Amino acid sequence: MASPDEIPPSDPRNDEHHDDEPGAVDPSATPRGMFGRALRLGGAAARMGATSLGARMRGLVGKAEEAQKRAREVNAARLAEVVGDLRGVAMKLGQFASTQEDAIPDEFRDALSKFQSQAPPLVFPFVRDIVESELGGKLHERFASFDRKPLAAASLGQVHAAELPDGTPVAVKVQYPGIDETVRADIRAMRLLAKPMRLAGHKFDIREALDEVEDRLTEELDYEHEAKNTERCRELLQGWDEVVVPRVHASHSSRLCLTTDRLYGRHLDEWVATEPDQEARNEAGRRLGSAIWHMEVELAFLHADPHPGNFLFLDDGRIGLIDFGCVKWLSEDFLRGYRKMAVGLITRQKDLVLDSCHELSILPREDRETSKAEAYVEWGYLTTEPLSFDGVWPGDWGEYMERLHGRGRELAMQIGVWLPRDLVYLHRVTFGLMCFWKRLDSRINWHRLALSFLQPPEAEGDGAGAAEPATP
């Protein structure tokens, strides 16, 4: 029998003889109760406030801009540390914030971006114990190799490269111990925070949105449900040559452990770092947009966790889609109203937009001629500005994103933050796609690409066919 020093690092037996990955965490250190987590966040917020105040005071007698920059760097590192400790919904929000270009200071975006796939990993003995408990048998009996260092670590679990006994390369996702408890605590805290908002009226009532978020998060915690989503989406996308979805290995999967084929590719920032030419950037943006609209409009589902950690740029040009824990299935009635609204916004047909707002229960008919209706139309036109220009959009992504978030906050005070639950993740996917385009600096005719999916040639009678049929 080989001695411990002779066992390769990827051998499943080698789980006791090497130090864990630097920064690896013990899950018992993560606060799971609502009050413990709130206390951790509150303490960090107080320290961040003190740091910002100190910077302002130093700015009175020195270089204000330098003091503020240093304060942002310190606070960004502090926020990243507490988010990394808390995981769960806190890290989900950190992931989302890191994709919102120009919505938060660069220092915070850079610090939070690691949570897209490089959160502090779990110490390996816990990974080994979970896999062995879930799948039965020793790790070396179930896998020919199993890397200690994770390929990726995010909000709810981490992924390890491994090989099945027959040599098939796979990715094994393992859920963090107790993360279900922390997610429930975070949802309870969010509901408590939402209660005072209801006093301001229906437009600030976010209970319906929270119901939707809770449902999707509950599904994400069940890897058996994710396995079914993955296989169903893989089957639906089988004929779409521009994307690839990994196969699930049911024999090595369970509620807390999910094994799929391993896809080899680069995440967004890694791909951009290779300095692709403009043609390649344009093609990557087109493929992303086409895949997302194809899934939304033609297959009636959302890949609803659109951060860069869940998309891979493969060497053959295809897009690898991973992580189908958060999937939103769309009804035919909703899709009909959504397509009408999207076409109305992109082609600037106000009446079509308002008609669809009534159909989707966003705006009561009696409010059609009010300032509230005007605000909804303004917000819709702003969010679709890059899609409304029939040509290569000449705008600047940075200026646009800054204006989008700035004016968006102003309009939110006027029209509120209430959304029907079917639109919650749709908005998330739409903004995620535009952030991809900004990072890629893709320059193509988004107007025609969008309408080629939203407005098929057979559209008639509902107003959605009012603009010319388009081709990418």
Residues identified as active-site: 305
Closest CA to 120 of 89, 149, 161, 141: 149
DSSP state, residue 264? -
Cα–Cα dist 298/264, whole Å: 27
Question: Helix (H, G, I), strand (E, B), or coil: what is residue 258?
Answer: strand
Number of H helices, E strands in the chain: 18, 11
- The CA–CA distances, whole Å, from 271 to 128, 261, 262, 325 equal 32, 21, 18, 24
172, containing H or E segment: strand 169-175
How many CB atoms lie under 10 A from the CB of residue 77? 12
160, containing H or E segment: strand 157-163
Longest dimension (CA), the chain: 81
Cα–Cα dist 65/156, whole Å: 37
Opening angle at CA 198, ends 196 and 201, nearest 5: 135
Closest CA to 159 of 271, 312, 42, 6: 312
Which residue carries 């049911």 as its tokens? 250
Cα–Cα dist 280/436, whole Å: 14
Sign of CA dihedral 415, 416, 422, 423: positive
Cα–Cα dist 224/317, whole Å: 30
